[in-house]
């Protein structure tokens, strides 16, 4: 079956394979040092932002040639890196472009792109917005809050919950004329599940938690999510009443359900149901994407890396999973012993892979001891996500040390600006009010926008 998460793009047209060219020395990365990881992160982020500037369509900030959602996921990655590193060199660019692409109604459904968007495209911008909310990323004066934008995406997507077949679910594509409109895929449903769970935790609004439960239960009633083996299929279809499955295995599918379950575990005050789900998904994730033939400590996009057929979408997936695994380790502390060595292993391998040309270009095969020749925004973004995931768990460990030992000499604990990743910024009054209004809109069945929800504080 055709996999709906893959765009019909020519890999050859998107990747530049270099051979016989000079390479840099390895990036010196000490995975237990925030200073070292911060320096490496900036070495990776600088060319990422250069690729971003070079690939903007007609100079439109946030719109990349051939894709739209990738810019949103890149901003999500930068915001998470900013929080743990304190580096703010690109904050103004990200803040401006993240708000600009919210569109006329501040819902990431601009009329410029809405005729060809998929639910997964819009969802990634929603995840960028909720990441900005959770991390306290600077707001844009006179514009809706980041939380309002995340809520708008949620509101639009639950309004598309499809009862034509399979008793529900979110389709991949939004419009009937799009190929894939009758498909329901893991990234669209898993992404909405994650967004719902994160909104539940951030706003403390039970409506979001109810939807998270609903999406999980629906997913588990289809081949998309096996809640016994924790196998996640990529897609299923309305034509077969969601009995068939596209069985390609992708890191980001597992990451959305894993992170969502972790946020629900925290939101429900450590409900054992969610702990069981987190543990099941985590074990399945490790078994599938940390191959023992590479030592079991480095992530691999196993469906495309061995034969180098990853398209531009798949090149970015590992970075998302890295950060979502880090969130899991922070929110579900019992998983940290499994997750932390893997995220550190990613950093150690990226030290060698990110050695391309004169700009610390990163490739796709993190397990390879030298740059593999692939270059572009997506691989830089994935590598930055890999480094950021390591930083998130490391900083969380150090902040716990400070918290449990107030007399410790903080000068001997490497840290940077920002807060512990597991601690959210206080929600503002405007966001609380907006969450209540959203509940009313959902009860009444009114599709809402947040063009009028301007942050008051």
pLDDT exceeds 50 at position 390: yes
Query: Tell me: the pLDDT tens digits for 310-328?
Result: 999 999 999 999 999 999 9
In the predicted model, is pLDDT for residue 8 greater than 60?
no
pLDDT at site 359 = 80
**Can you give the three-state secondary structure of 14-61, one letter per residue?**
HCCCCCCCCCCCCCCCCCCCHHHHHHHHHHHHHHHHHHHHHCEHHHCC
Sign, CA dihedral 183-187-190-194, equals negative
What is the Cα–Cα distance from 362 to 128, expressed in whole angstroms? 23
Q: Is the pLDDT of residue 447 over 80?
A: no
Which of 251, 361, 370, 391 is closest to 316 using CA atoms? 251
Q: The tokens of 113 are what?
A: 């792109």
- For 10, 304, 313, 314, 328, the CA distances from 14, given in Å and listed in that order, are 7, 15, 10, 12, 32
> pLDDT tens digits for 187-213?
999 999 999 999 999 999 999 999 999
Q: How far apart are CA 60 and CA 312, in angstroms?
A: 20
Average pLDDT on 395-407 reads 78
Residue 27 confidence (pLDDT): 87
Q: Does pLDDT of 246 surpass 70?
A: yes
The pLDDT value given to residue 440: 36
Q: In this prediction, what percent of the chain has a pLDDT beyond 90?
A: 78
pLDDT score of 431? 58
Q: Which of 200, 199, 166, 197 is nearest to 183 (CA)?
A: 166
> How many other β-carbons are positioned within 10 Å of the β-carbon of residue 57?
13
pLDDT for res 413: 31
Model-level pTM greater than 0.75?
A: yes
pLDDT of residue 142: 97
Between residues 342 and 452, the one the model is more confident about: 342
Residue 329: pLDDT above 60?
Answer: yes
What residue spans of 143-250 are helical by DSSP H? 146-158, 186-203, 206-220
Rounded-to-integer distance, Cα 65 and Cα 10, Å:
13
Residue 357 has a pLDDT of 86
- pLDDT per residue as tens digits for the range 160-181: 999 999 999 999 999 999 999 9
What is the rounded (10 degree) CA torsion for 294, 295, 298, 299?
60
The secondary structure of residue 454, as a DSSP letter, is B
> What three-state secondary structure class fits 235?
strand
Q: Which of 109-118, 243-252, 422-431 has the lowest mean pLDDT?
A: 422-431
171 has which bridge partners?
184
Q: Identify the bridge partners of residue 67 per DSSP, sorted by sequence position.
A: 64
Using 50, 70 and 90 to split pLDDT, how confident is the model at 218?
very high
Q: Provide the pLDDT for residue 24.
A: 55
Structure confidence at residue 401 (pLDDT):
79
Q: What is the pLDDT of residue 427?
A: 56
Q: Mean per-residue pLDDT for 138-167? A: 97
pLDDT tens for 352-370 read 999 998 789 999 999 999 9
Ramachandran region of residue 66, left (φ > 0), alpha (ψ -120 to 50) or beta? left
Among 126, 264, 245, 229, CA closest to 186: 245
Three-state secondary-structure class, residue 122? helix
Asked if pLDDT for residue 19 goes beyond 70, the answer is: no
Give the C-alpha separation, 290 to 281, whole Å: 14
- pLDDT of 421 reads 53
What value does the mean pLDDT of the chain take? 87
Any residues with CB less than 8 A from the CB of 245 and at least 6 apart, and which?
A: 1, 223, 224, 233, 234, 235, 236
At 10 the pLDDT is: 34
- How many Cα atoms are found within 13 Å in the side-chain-facing hemisphere of 119? 33
């Amino acid at each position: 079956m055709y996999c709906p998460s893959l765009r019909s793009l020519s890999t050859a047209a998107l990747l530049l394979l270099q051979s016989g060219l000079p390479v840099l020395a390895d990036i010196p990365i000490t995975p237990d040092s925030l200073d070292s990881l911060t320096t490496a992160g900036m070495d990776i982020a600088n060319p990422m932002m250069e690729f971003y500037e070079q690939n903007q369509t007609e100079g439109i900030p946030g719109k990349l040639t051939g894709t739209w959602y990738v810019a949103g996921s890149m901003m999500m990655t930068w915001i998470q890196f900013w929080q743990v590193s304190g580096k703010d060199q690109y904050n103004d660019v990200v803040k401006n472009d993240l708000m600009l692409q919210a569109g006329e109604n501040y819902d990431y459904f601009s009329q410029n792109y809405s005729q060809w968007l998929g639910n997964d495209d819009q969802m990634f911008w929603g995840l960028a917005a909720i990441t900005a909310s959770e991390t306290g990323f600077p707001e844009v004066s006179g514009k809706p809050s980041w939380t309002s934008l995340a809520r708008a995406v949620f509101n639009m997507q639950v309004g598309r919950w499809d009862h034509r077949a399979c008793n529900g679910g979110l389709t991949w594509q939004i419009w009937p004329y799009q190929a894939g409109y009758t498909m329901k895929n893991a990234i669209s449903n898993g992404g909405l599940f994650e967004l719902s769970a994160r909104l539940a935790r951030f706003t403390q609004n039970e409506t979001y938690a109810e939807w998270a439960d609903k999406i999980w239960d629906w997913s588990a009633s289809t081949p998309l999510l096996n809640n016994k083996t924790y196998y996640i299929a990529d897609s299923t279809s309305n034509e077969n009443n969601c009995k068939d499955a596209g069985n390609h295995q992708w890191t980001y599918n597992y990451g959305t359900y894993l992170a969502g379950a972790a946020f629900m575990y925290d939101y429900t005050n450590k409900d054992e149901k969610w702990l069981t789900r987190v543990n099941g998904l985590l074990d399945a994730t490790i078994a599938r994407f940390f191959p023992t033939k590479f030592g079991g400590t480095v992530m691999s996009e196993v469906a495309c890396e061995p034969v180098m057929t990853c398209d531009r979408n798949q090149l970015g997936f590992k970075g998302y999973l890295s950060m979502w695994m880090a969130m899991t380790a922070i929110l579900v502390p019992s998983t940290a012993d499994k997750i932390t060595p893997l995220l550190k292993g990613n950093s150690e391998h990226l030290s060698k892979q990110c050695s391309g040309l004169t700009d610390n270009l990163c490739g796709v095969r993190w397990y390879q001891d030298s740059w593999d020749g692939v270059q572009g925004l997506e691989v830089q973004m994935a590598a930055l996500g890999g480094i950021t995931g390591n930083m998130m768990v490391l900083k969380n460990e150090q902040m716990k040390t400070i918290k449990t030992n107030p007399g410790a000499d903080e000068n001997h604990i490497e840290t940077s600006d920002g807060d512990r990743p597991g601690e959210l910024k206080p929600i503002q009054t405007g966001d609380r009010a907006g969450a209540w209004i959203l509940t009313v809109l959902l009860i009444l069945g009114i599709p809402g926008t947040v063009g009028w929800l301007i942050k008051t504080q």
